């Protein structure tokens, strides 16, 4: 089971004591390598992954934000374009469901 939150300080300690939550990990912004590796999970194109990692600002996007936008991209070029909008902006769904 995974638990996620943006505000761990608001969770009652009894709910996250040892035995209930045994491992905690903070996921910070993605570096260039993480951006390229995440891109490859969506588009199997090494050259496009390198282009993506060069075009998208490192240490600006959380893994969740990167995943959300990559899920919405129908092509590698569209994926790069979706990162022109700053984090926190809503992007339209392009990929067919």
In a domain, 51, yes or no: yes
pLDDT tens string 21-50: 888 888 899 999 999 999 999 999 999 999
**What is d(CA 50, CA 57) in angstroms, rounded to the nearest whole number?**
13
Question: How far apart, in whole angstroms, are the C-alpha atoms of residue 7 and residue 38?
Answer: 25
Domain count of the fold of the chain: 1
**Any domain includes 13:** no
- Determine, yes or no, domain membership for 44: yes
- Report d(CA 9, CA 28) in Å as an integer: 17
39: containing domain: 27-82
Specify if 70 maps to a domain.
yes
Q: Tell whether 55 is covered by a domain.
A: yes
% of the chain residues with pLDDT over 70: 90
Cα separations (Å) of 96 from 4, 16, 63, 70, 75?
28, 38, 22, 13, 12
Residue 15 lies in a domain: no
Residue 91: which pLDDT band, with cuts at 50, 70 and 90? Answer: low
- Residue 49 located in a structural domain: yes
| Domain contains 34 | yes
User: pTM surpassing 0.85?
Assistant: no
């Amino acid at each position: 089971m995974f638990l996620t939150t943006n505000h761990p300080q608001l969770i009652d300690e009894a709910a996250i004591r040892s035995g209930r939550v045994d491992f905690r990990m903070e996921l910070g912004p993605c570096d260039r390598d993480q951006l390229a590796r995440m891109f490859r999970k969506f588009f199997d194109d090494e050259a496009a992954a390198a282009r993506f990692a060069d075009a998208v600002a490192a240490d600006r996007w959380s893994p969740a934000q990167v995943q959300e936008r990559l899920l919405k991209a129908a092509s590698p070029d569209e994926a790069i374009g979706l990162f022109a909008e700053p984090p926190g902006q809503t992007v339209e769904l392009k990929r067919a469901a």
